[in-house]
Amino acid sequence: MDLYRGIMKTAVNVKRVLTGSGAQAEYTAYLEKIQYLPPGELKSLQAACICGLLKHAVENIPFYTQMKGKVGLTPESAFEDIKKFPILTKAMLIEKNNELAAGNIVPAGRLNTGGTTGETASVLKDKYSMAHAPDEFFNRKIGIEPGRSRLILKADERKKAANEIGGFDYEINRISRTWRVDHRYMNDARLKFLTDILIKQKPEIIWGSNHGIYVLAKHLEDKGITVRPPSTILCGGQMMLPQYREKIECVFRAKVYDRYGSVECGNTANQCEAREGYHYVPTVHYIEILDDSMNPVGGGVMGNLYITTLNRRAMPMIRYETGDLAVYTETPCACGCRFPVIGEIHGRRKEGIISPRGTYLSLTPLNTIMRQSPEILDFQMVQESRGSLLIRLATGDNMPGEAALAKIKSDICAAMDYNMDIRFEYAEAIRALPNGKVMRVVPLERLKELGDY
């Protein structure tokens, strides 16, 4: 470790002591210690955390007081107890928001969701929380530590940016060597500014929205610009498409790591250096992957993802329906860490199309079909009715031939078991939503709401 990085690491620890957040460092050290425990011991630790959360919920959260006397509330009964708690949906989070707040906790503030899937919900923040300890733990595994220069591409709604250039906000912290740029609406001025940072400052870490980083990588490729490879690229924000990962890794000549999270449940699951799935900390989150009948799926099977936040108290999410699809696995990761792993994450269940016969097709198989044509750089599917589909294509200079388009139509209709009416239109680029995310599939129920998006 060089002198500067050593000083910065010390400075971070001193700041934590002064601000009363030193417990985060202690919890990170605790995670380092327990990560190699046998699965049975980790499950016992998780059971104790579930028990503590459920006791808090039935005693202090109005929405859950109805559960008092209906559950055992012991570590031994924890996994059966939590099954008796109701599934929490986003609609319930909006409608019952006040009832979901703990009466004995003074919150530190409120966070709002991005609204990608519809209405915006809000959750209360804990004043003291170990919510970021898993981030720090997994960051260390992929080389993200204090003192390493970084370019961060994501929005920060909590405070006003210090500077503005070319119609966009950015922040510079020269002490920590951090450049933070809002990733929404990646216009020419923003891309030029980011390119200058990459060339002149040579950040060691690139971190942020996978769509924003992809757009930057595509810009560098189109301009024929080569930059020094960063040591680590950490992406998140929405599902990591294989072509995004390939393009980013090719242009930057560096490994891409993915992180899964949400405003409601925090950063939840992280890729480690092995990139064989997504680890989560069993004392921070409890994960359920269930089929449509609410039964646990088997290994290698896709299901609906439900998350319980074990270390939040102001407004914990208990069996929260994320709306995302994930693949269950019991295969341990090659990195040696014994924390459980989510095999694959396939994005929003709503981000799919459905035929008049009720056949549903998610983004993952649709993306596989579209990738058969190398001329297609990006795409968006808009379901205009149960039987019709508009596919927008971003292709650059080369356009797919009639045979390629006919193959796409044929494959989608075969997968849907219905002769869908499919038409194509070309776009220079696929537009992002105001929150910086891209809806790769616009379902029928969101079409009117999004207008001309």
Q: What is the DSSP string of 87-111?
A: PBPHHHHHHTTGGGS-TT---SEEE
Q: What's the CATH number where 411 sits?
A: 3.30.300.30
- pLDDT of 158 > 70? The answer is no
- pLDDT of 250 > 90? The answer is yes
In a domain, residue 431? The reply is: yes
- pLDDT of 145 > 90? The answer is no
| pLDDT confidence of residue 161 | 42
In a domain, residue 200? The reply is: no
What percentage of residues in the chain have a pLDDT greater than 90? 58
> What is the bridge-based pairing of β-strands 163-165 and 168-173?
antiparallel
- Please give the backbone phi and psi of residue 394, each rounded to the nearest 5 degrees, phi first: -105, 115
Residues 434, 221, 439, CA angle at the centre, nearest 5°?
25
Who contacts 176 (Cβ-Cβ below 8 Å, separation ≥6)? 8, 146, 147
Full DSSP string of 295-319: -B--TT-EEEEEEEESS--SS--SS
The answer to whether the beta carbons of residues 232 and 255 sit under 8 Å apart is: yes
| pLDDT confidence of residue 449 | 59
Q: pLDDT tens, 40-52?
A: 999 999 999 999 9
Q: What is the pTM of this model?
A: 0.85
| pLDDT confidence of residue 25 | 77
In a domain, residue 125? The reply is: no
Q: How many CB atoms lie within 10 A of CB 33?
A: 9
In a domain, residue 280? The reply is: no
In a domain, residue 230? The reply is: no
| pLDDT confidence of residue 115 | 60
Residues 74 and 300: their CA atoms lie apart, in Å, by 31
The answer to whether the beta carbons of residues 380 and 430 sit under 8 Å apart is: yes
Q: How many CB atoms lie within 10 A of CB 55?
A: 15
| pLDDT confidence of residue 127 | 76
In a domain, residue 54? The reply is: no
| pLDDT confidence of residue 166 | 47
Q: Which of 425, 346, 443, 422 is nearest to 379 (CA)?
A: 425
Residues 143 and 206: their CA atoms lie apart, in Å, by 12
Instruction: Give the burial class of 176: count Cβ atoms within 10 A of its Cβ; 0-12 exposed, 13-18 middle, 19 or more buried.
Output: middle
Of 58-72, 281-295, 420-434, the poorest mean pLDDT is in 420-434
Instruction: Give the burial class of 355: count Cβ atoms within 10 A of its Cβ; 0-12 exposed, 13-18 middle, 19 or more buried.
Output: buried
Of 20-29, 210-219, 340-349, the poorest mean pLDDT is in 20-29
Who contacts 192 (Cβ-Cβ below 8 Å, separation ≥6)? 166
- pLDDT of 69 > 80? The answer is yes
Q: pLDDT tens, 91-120?
A: 999 999 999 999 999 888 888 886 655 578
Instruction: Give the burial class of 210: count Cβ atoms within 10 A of its Cβ; 0-12 exposed, 13-18 middle, 19 or more buried.
Output: buried
| pLDDT confidence of residue 16 | 58
Which residues span the domain enclosing 18? 1-34
Split into its structural domains, the chain has a count of 2
Secondary structure element (H or E) that encloses residue 194, with its range = helix 188-200
Q: pLDDT tens, 358-376?
A: 888 888 888 899 988 999 9
Residues 302 and 317: their CA atoms lie apart, in Å, by 22
The answer to whether the beta carbons of residues 349 and 325 sit under 8 Å apart is: yes
Residues 322 and 343: their CA atoms lie apart, in Å, by 17
Pair of tokens at residue 242 = 């294989």
- pLDDT of 234 > 70? The answer is yes
In a domain, residue 24? The reply is: yes
| pLDDT confidence of residue 163 | 42
Greater confidence (84 vs 431) lies with 84
| pLDDT confidence of residue 13 | 60
| pLDDT confidence of residue 159 | 45
Pair of tokens at residue 196 = 């200058």
In a domain, residue 384? The reply is: yes
Handedness of CA 200, 206, 208, 213 (dihedral sign): positive
Q: pLDDT tens, 342-351?
A: 999 987 877 7
Distances (CA, A) of 144 to 92, 132, 148: 37, 14, 7
What is the band of 326 on the pLDDT scale with cuts at 50, 70, 90? very high
| pLDDT confidence of residue 431 | 84
